[in-house]
């Protein structure tokens, strides 16, 4: 719904041993003076497995269950009747899932955290990581990404999509990017290569 805006969208990526764990922390805002039911669509990489969905309720992080479609829908309707605060995930196709959130109170925020893991493609000693854009929301007020490549200090890296700042910590390579009023119109694409030989 166009009545919701996306205030914060932070991507945290941990890459280790050829696997990446991606955590998305996002905050929506309901501008209206009425209670809404929100539906959000997320594209995931085809080989990704979802590992976590959580939502802040009254300042506390509540873990959501991964439910089968039919059971989940019934549970959702039941909780809605009792006016509790569910998040419901539903697979739309192989790689996109849909999440229903109710209620989104008037003039208030809703913060949702989800994580997924995937094996990364590697070619010629380089790992490729891609975070899909394809989001149904408009611009994000505060967008940021933080990538940690375990043991990656000294590695060559390249992002075809975003300007990133590199730093090193305890042998790890850290890459950071931040944008204001960002359009979710392109994937975050990243390649990390072999260590640069010290001459």
Binning pLDDT at 50, 70 and 90, where does residue 29 land? Answer: confident
Per-residue pLDDT tens over the stretch 42-75:
777 777 877 777 777 777 777 765 544 455 556 5
Q: 49-58, 104-113, 162-171, 183-192: which has the highest mean pLDDT?
A: 162-171
Instruction: Check residue 169 and give its pLDDT.
Output: 97
SS (H, E, C) the chain: CCCEEEEEEEEEEEEECCEEEEEEEEEEEECCCCCEEEEEEEECCCCCEEEEEEEEECCEEEEECCCCHHHHHHHHHHHHHHCCCCEEEEECCCCEEEEEEEEECCCEEEEEEEEEEEECEEECCEEEEEECCCCCCCCEEEEEEEEEECCCCCEEEECCCCCCEEEEECCEEEEEEEEEEECCCCCEEEEEEEECCCC
Binning pLDDT at 50, 70 and 90, where does residue 98 land?
A: confident
Task: Identify which has the larger pLDDT, 74 or 166.
Answer: 166
């Amino acid at each position: 719904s166009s009545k919701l805006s996306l205030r914060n969208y932070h991507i945290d990526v941990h890459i280790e041993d050829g696997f990446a764990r991606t955590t998305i922390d996002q905050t929506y805002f309901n501008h209206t003076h009425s209670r809404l039911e929100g539906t959000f669509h997320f594209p995931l990489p085809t080989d990704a497995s979802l590992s976590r969905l959580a939502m802040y309720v009254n300042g506390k992080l509540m873990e959501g269950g991964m439910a089968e479609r039919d059971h989940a829908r019934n549970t959702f309707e039941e909780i809605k009747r009792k006016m509790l605060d569910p998040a419901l995930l539903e697979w739309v196709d192989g790689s996109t899932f849909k999440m229903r959130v109710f209620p989104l109170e008037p003039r208030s925020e809703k913060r949702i955290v989800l994580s997924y893991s995937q094996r990364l493609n590697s070619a010629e000693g380089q790992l490729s990581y891609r975070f899909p854009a394809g989001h149904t929301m408009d611009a994000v007020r505060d967008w940021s990404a933080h990538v940690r490549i375990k043991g990656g200090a000294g590695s060559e890296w390249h992002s075809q999509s975003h300007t990133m700042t590199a730093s090193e910590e305890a042998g790890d390579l850290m890459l950071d990017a931040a944008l204001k009023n960002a359009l979710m119109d392109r994937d975050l694409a990243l390649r990390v290569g072999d260590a640069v030989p010290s001459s």
